Structure 1
Amino acid sequence: MHKTIYKICPQTLWREAERQGVFTGAPVDIADGFIHFSTAAQAPETARRHFAGQDDLLLVAVDAGKLGDALKFEVSRGGDLFPHLYAPLDLGAVQWVKPLPLGADGHVFPDFEA
């Protein structure tokens, strides 16, 4: 089981969640009924597919162990198991938030472990 999962999020949306003390999801999450996350291995492809050309993004690292039974790993893209959270994200589970800048060849990811 993955200990840390990741959310790619527009900075304005995340800053609003910080003001409210909870993240209820991006519009796609709300429409789908769960908050989409990725593992470290899945995050670069998620950025390429769903956030291509978007700047002003953040990468949010979340402690999966703090999410309880609301976190489900479900089959999605290419048969991979993706983490889906069927509850609002308690910001107490967030380990760190880092910029996800757009480089010449796509998004430039920080060190996932740091």
Structure 2
Amino acid sequence: MLYRIAEPQDWQHAQLTGFFTSADLKAEGFIHSSERSQILETARRYYPGRLDLVLLEWDEDALIAAGVRVEREWVESRQEFFAHVFGPVPLTAIRRHWVFAPDATGQFRLPEEL
């Protein structure tokens, strides 16, 4: 499974259109996503204090079956590979989603189900 910390308006738009898209897809040609082990550091770096986020879980096999290319590319600033999704994500590939906000101490935590 791959994960995306999503803006609420992008998630709402996906529910209306059947496909998740984001500003990074338009600007860079792919949607940034993470492995499970990368979620919390991504949240800490890029979303401190945000209370309105959604964490999406999508099935890489379902993406590939839908013809959406996924490539792991080296990200120098993080010194690790990240999964980049080269196209809109069909809702059929999104398995679960959660409200994703920091706890009372300001720290993000993974949903218990993960």
TM range (shorter): 0.7 to 0.9
Q: Where in structure 2 are there 5+ consecutive unaligned residues?
A: none
SS across alignment from 1:74: strand
Equivalent residue number for residue 89 of structure 2: 89
Structure 1 segments of 4+ aligned residues over 4 angstroms from their partners: none
Is the aligned partner of 1:56 residue 2:60?
Answer: no
The percentage of counterpart residues that share the same residue type is 29
TM-score normalised over the length of structure 2: 0.86
Is the aligned partner of 1:109 residue 2:110?
Answer: yes
Pair 1:112–1:46, CA change in 2 (3 A): farther
In the TM superposition, what is the alpha-carbon distance from 1:29 to its structure 2 partner? 3.5
Aligned residue pairs, count: 109
Which of 20, 25, 43 lines up with 1:47 in the alignment?
A: 43
Which of 5, 8, 11 lines up with 1:8 in the alignment?
A: 5
TM-score normalised over the length of structure 1: 0.86
Pair 1:12–1:78, CA change in 2 (3 A): closer
